[in-house]
Amino acid sequence: MTDTEKAAPKIDRAKILHEGKAEILVIHSSMRQRLPFVVVREKMPGGLVPYLKIDRWVDPSELLRVAAEADLPVMAPQGKFFPPKKKASDYTGL
């Protein structure tokens, strides 16, 4: 196990999709905060794509981190953020 795996545990994607929401720890306004994310599904040509949606402005680097840890795309006022080497079609049908 690498140091980054020890420091940042993965967020349970199956649990988030089942419950439809999650409170995730992010750095917001220079403070560590638990912010609510809600699962929304956007219709795409291949099917529905689930996104973790947040209505607050959060630093894009934090949103990329959340997307990578949860293995789900994130939708925010700044735009959509995907885990590394993934795109919307990778999540159709979840």
CB contact at 8 A, 37 and 17: no
pLDDT band at 4; cut points 50, 70, 90: very low
Percent of all residues in the chain with a pLDDT value above 90, rounded to a whole number: 50
CA–CA dist 13, 9 (Å, integer): 12
**In the prediction, which pLDDT does 11 show?**
79
Q: Report the chain's mean pLDDT, rounded to a whole number.
A: 86
Q: Tell me: the pLDDT tens digits for 41-77?
A: 999 888 899 999 999 899 999 999 999 998 999 999 9
**pTM of the entire structure?**
0.80
Alpha-carbon separation of residue 87 from 25, 55, 80, 90 (angstroms): 24, 21, 10, 6
Contacts of residue 9, Cβ cutoff 8 Å, sequence gap at least 6: 69
